[in-house]
Amino acid sequence: MTEITAPKSPVSAEQFADEIREQLKYGQGVTVEQATPADVYVAASQAVRRHLMDSWMQTQADMVNGTTKAVGYLSAEFLMGKQLRNALLNAGLTEQFDTAVESLGFNYQDVIDAEHEPGLGNGGLGRLAACFIDSLASLGVPAFGYGIQYKYGIFEQAFDKDGKQIEKPDYWLTNEEPWGHIDYNRSQKVSFGGEVVEEGGKKVWKPAWSVRAVPVDYMVPGYASGRVNTLRLWSAKSYDEFDLLTFNRSEYLDAVRPQVAAENISKILYPEDSTPQGKALRLEQQYFFVAASIHDAIRVFYPGQENPDLTTFPSKICFQLNDTHPVIGIPELMRVLIDEYGYDWDTAWGITTKTFNYTCHTLLPEALEVWPASLIGELLPRHLEIIKQINEQFEAELTSKHVDSDTIKDMAIHTGDSVRMAYLATYGGSHVNGVAELHSQLLKDVTLKNFSDVYPDKFTNVTNGVTPRRFIKLANPRLSDLITEGLGTDKWLSDLELLKGLEPLAADDEFVKKFAAVKQANKVDFSNYAKREYGFDIDPDTMVNTMVKRLHEYKRQALKILALIARYADIKNGNMSADEVMPRTVVFGAKAAPGYYLAKMTIQLINNVARVVNNDPDVKGKLSVYFPWNYNVRLAQHLIPATDLDEQISQAGKEASGTGNMKFALNGALTVGTLDGANVEIRERVGAENFFLFGMTVDEVDALYASGYSPAAFYEADPRLKQAIDMVSDGTFSNGDRNAFAPLVADWLTKDWFMTLADFHAYTEIQADIEALYAQPLEWHRKAILNVANSGYFSSDRSMEDYLERIWETGPLA
């Protein structure tokens, strides 16, 4: 008898249909007959929210009245994905919804499709934040996600006729958005600019202008925890909305200028995911949401208290800094404690350092934010003073620890003309962690070595994870049912390490065949979805080989496309006989930061290779390439369950962790990858024999850098590589235009900073192993089952348990 523990609301489908009908009437003034799928989407969403409201309010009350420390997850990005299905799952209303909507005469998929995905993030960092708050709620831990309610999220990507990326604004709020509750009565005032004056021996900041931070609250329902936490996203509004006098002087634009200036702060997400642009508006955004969040936390945990005892603040809430983006929060809390509540420096510093912890998500030096001191001085003059004082205290502390002066200089938070936010976070917080074992080691050995030498106890690791609710249960219901059948319980959804119980079933051919059937059905589903949404003709009987992530040179989409061109040439030139070729469909998904020239050219190249290969009868049925535009959480949920082979081929030592790698392994795909980020831990846990490893290790990469890397030498030495690159430069993929990709080829042959050419041979070599195994479906799927069985560790619930134990020292509400 299979044990089912999934939450199930006692409400019947009929009752739920009535609630939707009532919401349509009293909430939206339409009858069922008049309603559109979008109306029903809003009504059903409101109806679900009503079922979650009691738990939401109870969780809030227990958090404030209890003694359990809460977690405040400060993040400039939350890539939440579509909400309705997730809320239905956690409210135990899925079946009732499907039946109710059908009974009202609607196709429930049309209602689901009416939701516009909230894209308030760029990629890994933003999605991780979303997985983490889902897990905190599912573990029953009191928590706030604090961020920004961008009016425009990550741009919508399209491709023009030449295969170039074009960016369109993400109008995600054009239609009624039922999940966000705008709470004007709990807004906060956030100020900027001005000067600092001495008054009565005290520093007083006299800001020049202020904006109103209005919270938009989203429910974060837990799975089977009965708890609902809050995601509080701040929206910027102007206090003096409208200057009537100016308007009456028909200077209409001037009349609304203050409003526009204020609202600009939360207008749009910066689409960079590695190289900060250092724009003033970006710093305004960061200070805006962090300052509002700190004041909000004091309001929440010290309700109605004029002079709260803030020495208890670190026992009420601890803040996690999601990369360097919220680090201005450290001088902000110091300012609030000293200037607004009159604490002395040392007391304030004690409170602040106990309150904050910092997670670093990158290894790229250029991704660590460094703000010009002049910009901070202009926008936040009091904060610059405090940062300078923190730096003086820091240098004195280092001196007292006998650190030599050069090292002290290298470790400076304030260098005179700039402020290094990663250093401020490391000194100003209690803990610093990387997001995978290799990453955390490299942070200690390289990126933050000096700090690790002086403060070794601050450094720890918490390997990333993903939520199994969205990325297995919602994305892959067939596999979920098979897992529950195989384990005899669905408890794995809140205890993912239970997947280990599938291991023996990998030896059971009947189970393996069922598993293979699930994968095949998912591939057919994706083929139909891709046809409907993109007009693609994907053959589900080929190997589906996927590479989806942001476009970045260190992730090496170039390696994939060059190997693909080499394969194309092999088939064309008959180097490979027809039966030798394992039919493969390669699917890319990737957005490039709008200003990232080489990344955008790589996208153009991939699209043109796809155009040529897919229209070449010589390779028809053997090789095809598809690049669905606008890769987002929705597309990921459709593509990951349908994938046989996942690409994690970044240069060793560059990908902090990766989380896509975890999602694919958990959905029964095999991985071809390097020893980078969390690939190392995935391979360790699923077994080296169940992972296609290739390429240089971090040490080999460092050695090659040290010995002087000449990409041209690899080009000359490897005829297949040479041919592939020559086909890119000779116009094969650009209608004969030999200059189309010249900058890309020039970079490959002269710089190739991430050693794509050096790892090409090893990467093409491993393909034979991959295809040899794929030719034995039973063995392939056996290994895929062993990947699923041994990937339970990569649940974001486990990541949260690590943070709770090692960093936050708190736990579930009683």
Residues that bind ligand 26W (CB under 6 A): 122-125, 128, 272-274, 276, 323, 361-362, 367, 369, 435, 464, 655-659, 677
Catalytic residue among 69, 151, 212, 361: 361
Return the C-alpha torsion angle 61, 66, 72, 73, nearest 10. -80
Q: How far is the CB of 278 from ligand 26W (least distance, A)?
A: 9
- How many whole angstroms separate alpha carbon 531 and alpha carbon 529? 5
Q: How far is the CB of 441 from ligand 26W (least distance, A)?
A: 15
> Is 550 one of the annotated active-site residues of the chain?
yes
Q: How far is the CB of 642 from ligand 26W (least distance, A)?
A: 22
Helix (H, G, I), strand (E, B) or coil at 530: helix
- How many whole angstroms separate alpha carbon 795 and alpha carbon 627? 29
- Given a contact cutoff of 8 angstroms between Cβ atoms, the answer to whether 459 and 449 are in contact is no
Q: How far is the CB of 274 from ligand 26W (least distance, A)?
A: 5
> Is 663 one of the annotated active-site residues of the chain?
yes
> Is 212 one of the annotated active-site residues of the chain?
no
- How many whole angstroms separate alpha carbon 764 and alpha carbon 749? 19
Q: How far is the CB of 666 from ligand 26W (least distance, A)?
A: 15
How far, in Å, are 544, 611, 642 from residue 637 at the CA level?
Answer: 15, 25, 9
State the DSSP code for 23.
Answer: I
- How many whole angstroms separate alpha carbon 461 and alpha carbon 474? 29
Phi, psi (degrees; rounded to nearest 5) at 646: -110, 140
- How many whole angstroms separate alpha carbon 133 and alpha carbon 68? 17
Q: What angle do CA 553, 556, 560 make, to 5 degrees?
A: 140
Residue with smaller CB distance to ligand 26W, 124 or 326: 124
> Is 555 one of the annotated active-site residues of the chain?
yes
- Given a contact cutoff of 8 angstroms between Cβ atoms, the answer to whether 798 and 496 are in contact is yes
Q: How far is the CB of 657 from ligand 26W (least distance, A)?
A: 4
Do you know the residue count of the chain? Answer: 814
Residue with smaller CB distance to ligand 26W, 225 or 266: 266
Residue with smaller CB distance to ligand 26W, 180 or 677: 677
Residue with smaller CB distance to ligand 26W, 435 or 633: 435
Q: How far is the CB of 212 from ligand 26W (least distance, A)?
A: 26
**Helix orientation angle between 509-534 and 777-789, rounded to the nearest 10 degrees:** 90
Catalytic residue among 444, 550, 591, 622: 550
Catalytic residue among 324, 362, 659, 764: 659
Phi, psi (degrees; rounded to nearest 5) at 22: -65, -40
Catalytic residue among 555, 560, 634, 654: 555
Phi, psi (degrees; rounded to nearest 5) at 810: -150, -175
725 CB neighbour count, 10 Å cutoff: 24
- Residue 555 CA, chain-centre distance (Å), reads 15
Residue with smaller CB distance to ligand 26W, 367 or 586: 367
Q: How far is the CB of 656 from ligand 26W (least distance, A)?
A: 4
Query: Tokens 């994905």 appear where?
Result: 81
How far, in Å, are 46, 50, 93, 110 from residue 13 at the CA level?
Answer: 16, 15, 8, 18
- How many whole angstroms separate alpha carbon 111 and alpha carbon 88? 13
Catalytic residue among 49, 549, 720, 798: 549
Residue with smaller CB distance to ligand 26W, 658 or 668: 658
State the DSSP code for 456.
Answer: G
Query: Tokens 């090789």 appear where?
Result: 623
> Is 659 one of the annotated active-site residues of the chain?
yes
Residue with smaller CB distance to ligand 26W, 74 or 128: 128
Q: How far is the CB of 368 from ligand 26W (least distance, A)?
A: 8
Catalytic residue among 663, 683, 720, 798: 663
Residue with smaller CB distance to ligand 26W, 439 or 782: 439
Residue with smaller CB distance to ligand 26W, 83 or 362: 362
How far, in Å, are 164, 293, 440, 649, 724 from residue 443 at the CA level?
Answer: 36, 28, 5, 21, 36
> Is 643 one of the annotated active-site residues of the chain?
no
Catalytic sites, residue numbers: 361, 549-550, 555, 659, 663
